[in-house]
Structure 1
Amino acid sequence: MKNRGRARWIFDGRIAGIGTASGTRLVLGCWTHSPFGPFADVMAERRDGHRLLLAPDRRTARFVAATYSFDEVRVEPVRVTVRGDHWTVTSDSLTLRFTTGRRGPPGLALRAVPRVLATRPRWIEAVGLPARLLRGVRTCGTAGGGRHEWYGARDLRPVRDAGAVLEGEDLGPPAPVVPPVRFGFGSTPRRPCLVRVTTLVG
């Protein structure tokens, strides 16, 4: 696939966006298919605006840090365990647990769109305005390093329960992702959720 003469990288997996009572917001990327193989990473923004990336190796850390903006990057194993609706994420710095609920109308609507359509840049751009108005998210835009990104959402489930400890600090119960995170051009939905997504970067 080409975009203005440049190759596109394709990442397929899930993104969880979770706010906490402490003011720290967390974004988990759990990628089952990517140019780097399966991996997970976590982006965290504290109440004071400090943006932290946890990435499992230097190669993925360099790529993610070149695409998004961070104040600090740490290379450490990020392990994800999923048992039914229960997710556990662990690294040297973070322990995150959350449970997903039943999908509502937004998730059902996303699942109804064929994958071949949901992951086309023109479709993603066409649904960008409704997504921004209804969910507060942007589906496409300019990323770091002169790159462009498209987020093709294919499912959505709410996060019902969550708890996290970052660097030994209990972040408290889940809360809306407010203010929006500032890693790139877009944010996650305001309400904590888990989104099935195919991301194109080119």
Structure 2
Amino acid sequence: MSRVPGTAARRRLRFDGWIAGLGTSSGTRVVLGHWQRSPFGRFSDVMLERADGERLLLAPTTGTAAFVSGTYTFDTVSVVPVGVRVTDDTWSVAAGPLDLRFTTGRRGLLGIALCAVPGPLARRPAWSALTDRPAGVLLPGVRTRGSAGAGRREWYGARDLRPVSALSATLEGHGLGALAPVEPPVRFGFGSVPRTPAVTRVTTTVELGPP
């Protein structure tokens, strides 16, 4: 297992990027993390939960796979190439057995409000703690702070939210069906993504547990 950057006691690691939460009519739910800045550099990873409840992680390196699987819970972890291309409003994802393409729509009132949150404020764990209860009211199942695996804690600071309007996807060569709500909620960690498929710009802060 690769050494995680910055394993000093209670050190905080920051990830800046986007999280897409998607449901399909087959029952498979997909959570894509697309990180422009992180302790591991630029990378993307995919979490999937099948209709039968099996949870899978697709990560591009042993280091990212070890870190993500140490923070969240999975039944299967695979190290595979993960490529993401964003062209205007269209996202194309190739991740091992998964081929995914989705389109985002115009942001609503909540997305407009989140765009007004200054970046330095969104990166503060105290802000995420303050928004945890309102987020759960506006987006049931969503949490902006909580406990994770290996004694870690997490905070999510959102800065944008755009709905997903269309999707096409295959997993292991089988079509996953049409775009659908993320229902039931995914069970990788302490919270789920919004029930309505969406892409959220977010700063995630992870506080590591004792070494």
* TM-score, structure 2 normalization: 0.93
- Identity of aligned pairs, percent? 62
Residue number in structure 2 paired with 1:163 = 168
Deviations 1:96-151 (A, max 9, x none): 00000011101111011111112211111111101001112000000000000001
Gaps of 5+ in 1: none
Paired with 1:140 and 1:164, the residues of 2 have a C-alpha distance of 30
- 2:27 equivalent among 14, 23, 26: 23
Paired with 1:131 and 1:87, the residues of 2 have a C-alpha distance of 25
Residue number in structure 2 paired with 1:141 = 146
The letter of the residue matching 2:193 is T
Residue number in structure 1 paired with 2:93 = 89
Q: Secondary structure at the match of 1:6?
A: coil
Shift of 1:91: 2.0
Residue number in structure 2 paired with 1:173 = 178
- 1:191 equivalent among 157, 178, 196: 196
* TM-score, structure 1 normalization: 0.97
Matches within 5 A, 1:3-152: 6-136=10-140, 137-152=142-157
Moved over 2 A (4+): none
Aligned-CA RMSD value: 1.3
Paired with 1:91 and 1:18, the residues of 2 have a C-alpha distance of 15
The letter of the residue matching 2:49 is E
The letter of the residue matching 1:115 is G
> Are the counterparts in 1 of residues 46 and 95 from structure 2 also a CA contact under 8 Å?
no
Gaps of 5+ in 2: 1-8
Q: Secondary structure at the match of 2:45?
A: strand
> Are the counterparts in 1 of residues 58 and 96 from structure 2 also a CA contact under 8 Å?
no
The letter of the residue matching 1:114 is P
Paired with 1:119 and 1:106, the residues of 2 have a C-alpha distance of 18
Deviations 1:62-83 (A, max 9, x none): 0000000000000000000111
Shift of 1:92: 2.0
Shift of 1:179: 0.4
What is the number of equivalent residue pairs in this alignment? 200
The letter of the residue matching 2:56 is L
